Amino acid sequence: MCHIAPVPAAPDVVVIGAGVVGAACAWHAARAGLRVTVVDRGPVASGTTGAGEGNILVSDKPAGPELELALLSARLWSDLAAELGGFEHHDKGGLVVAASESAHQNLLDTGLGQQAAGVTATPVAPDDLPGYEPHLAGDLAGGMYYPQDAQVQPMLAAARMLADARGHGGAELRTGVQVTGLLRDGERVVGVDTTSGSIPAAAVVNAAGTWGGQVAELAGVHLPVLPRRGFVLVTEPVPVLVRHKVYAAEYVSDVASADAGLHTSPVVEGTDAGPILIGSSRERVGFDRSMPAEILRTLAAAAVRLFPVLARVNVIRAYRGFRPYCPDHLPVIGPDPRAPGLWHACGHEGAGVCLAAATGHVIAASLAGRSTEVDLVPFRPERFG
């Protein structure tokens, strides 16, 4: 028997993007037996993942294809937490509250549709709200409790999946490497050109998040992914004041809005380390990194409106991120018939962390030629024309 030094084989798949979606694609693909190389122009989780809150929400999604994906994802995140762990996964549950009777009615109507789709949603009467959140304002019209809502630390989640894909799946991670073009064989995409040489591969996955449209452009195809800016306030560490993921019912309609102008709705949650995270704002202003005080004020006021106890808690930090926004608020997931060999897994807007696990799962199935657990037609890349 003779031994031949292994020649580094070309990977089966190149994943562009080491954020949480790219990491999930790599993890599931490696798990499916594919040789994977992940490239990112920056460090691990340095884009929108590094600016995320780590929401895994079914509560904010009305019945429809995104909810179906979220339900699969919530289950897969729990499985991943049991198997890998180390990324602060908490089945903490979400509590959506309504200040007005009309918002309360909308909440109940949305809940009915969600229940029909398989979501556990429990109406909470005003008198029962303190049982869920003792520090909540006393004058709310009611709420809805969603036990399937969960939270992860998204940067750790991405890093752990990548580490496991490298350690057990033989995947390769190349950070600080920018994709400059796609290798073509006729129409087919057969790898990537990078600032550190070309990487041939049978398939390429575009998991470039908010920059996914630019990667698509390299393939000559159009994806209308636009940045939607958001801010998060971070408080000093405090003892547990907020137990669940708590947000106002208006959040759902804000997320669904197509308006480029500013929308804010309070989202409040505690973290393992003690600080409370306060979102959320959304506006389409390109990649403008300025941080207007007025938006921070609006977030602070809304959080204090929900939790008056927070009035005396200090904000010590604020950060911004740019969500990958698509005009119909649905992500782009699946093979691109306009550029065979190219798969997309981007454009998840504010639900990237939530939908990452399911996205990775269905991308890996699709790459392997298997049927996917969720119908990908609503997410098809060519839908924008």
Partner 1 sequence: MAISRDSSADARVDVLVLGAGPAGLAAATAAVHAGARVTVVDAGPTPGGQYWRHPPGSSPPGIGQHPTTRVYRMLAETVRARTRYLSGHDVWAVERDDDGFAAHTVHEGAEVTVHARRLVLATGAHDRSLPFPGWDLPGVYSAGGAQSLWKGHRVTIGPRVAVGGTGPFLLPVAADLAAHGARVVGVFEANHPRSWSRHLPAVTSSVGTFLRGAGHVATLSRHRVRPRVRHAVVAAHGDDHVEAVTVVRLTPEWTVVPGSSRVVECDAVAVGWGFTPRLELPLALGCTTRLGADGSLVVRVDDHQATDVTGVYAAGEVCGVGGAALAVVEGELAGLAAAGARAVPDRDRLARLLGRRAQLRRFAQAIHEVYPVRPGWLSWLRPDTLVCRCEEVTVATVTNAVHELGATDARSVKLLTRAGMGWCQGRMCGTGVAALAGAEAGTAATPHAFAERPVATPIPLGLLGRVEKPPLQPGPAPVPSHNRKDRPL
CA pseudo-torsion sign 366, 369, 372, 378 = positive
Secondary structure of residue 203 in the 3-state scheme? strand
Supply the minimum distance, in Å, between the C-beta of residue 274 and partner 1.
6
The minimum distance between CB 21 and partner 1, in angstroms, equals: 16
Question: Comparing C-alpha atoms, which of 160, 171, 142 is closest to residue 20?
Answer: 160
Of residues 173 and 362, the one with the C-beta less far from partner 1: 173
Return the sign of the alpha-carbon dihedral for residues 197, 156, 365, 355.
negative
Residue 197 identity: G
By beta-carbon proximity to partner 1, the closer residue of 297 and 383 is 297
Any residues with CB less than 8 A from the CB of 209 and at least 6 apart, and which?
A: 17, 19, 21, 47, 48, 49, 324, 346, 348, 352
Taking the complex as a whole, how short is the minimal distance between the CB of residue 179 and partner 1, in angstroms?
Answer: 17
Residue 163 CB, shortest distance to partner 1, in Å, is: 6
Residue 357 CB, nearest distance to partner 1 (Å)? 18
Shortest Å, Cβ 291 to partner 1 = 5
Supply the minimum distance, in Å, between the C-beta of residue 92 and partner 1.
19
What is the C-alpha separation between 356 and 353, in angstroms, rounded?
A: 5
Closest distance of CB 322 from partner 1, Å: 15
Q: Which is nearer to partner 1, 138 or 197 (CB)?
A: 138
Tokens found for residue 341 = 């060999």
Q: What minimum distance in Å lies between the beta carbon of 64 and partner 1?
A: 32
Q: Which residues contact 177 (CB under 8 A, 6 or more apart)?
A: 39, 40, 41, 194, 195, 196
CA distance 169 to 27: 8
Which CB sits closer to partner 1, 8 or 138?
138
| Nearer CB in complex with partner 1: 146/307 | 307
Question: Toward partner 1, which CB reaches closer, 154 or 381?
Answer: 154
- 255, 282 contact by CB (below 8 A): yes
First-last CA distance in the chain: 57
> Which one, 19 or 347, has the nearer CB to partner 1?
19
Toward partner 1, which CB reaches closer, 216 or 296? 296
Single out the residue of 385, 364, 382, 362 nearest to residue 372, CA to CA.
362
Q: Cβ(292)–Cβ(225) under 8 Å? A: no
Sequence-distant (6+) residues with CB within 8 A of 137 are 305, 306, 307, 308
Cα–chain-centroid distance for residue 91?
17
Q: Toward partner 1, which CB reaches closer, 126 or 292?
A: 292
- On the question of a cis peptide bond just before residue 59, with omega within 30 degrees of 0, the verdict is no
Residue 118 near residue 19 (C-beta atoms within 8 A): no
In the bound state with partner 1, the residue whose beta carbon lies nearer, of 262 and 309, is 309
CB of 20 to partner 1, least distance (A): 12
Residues that bind partner 1 (CB under 8 A): 18, 43-46, 50, 135, 138, 155-156, 159-160, 162-163, 166, 173, 175-176, 233-239, 241, 273-275, 278, 289-293, 296-305, 308-320
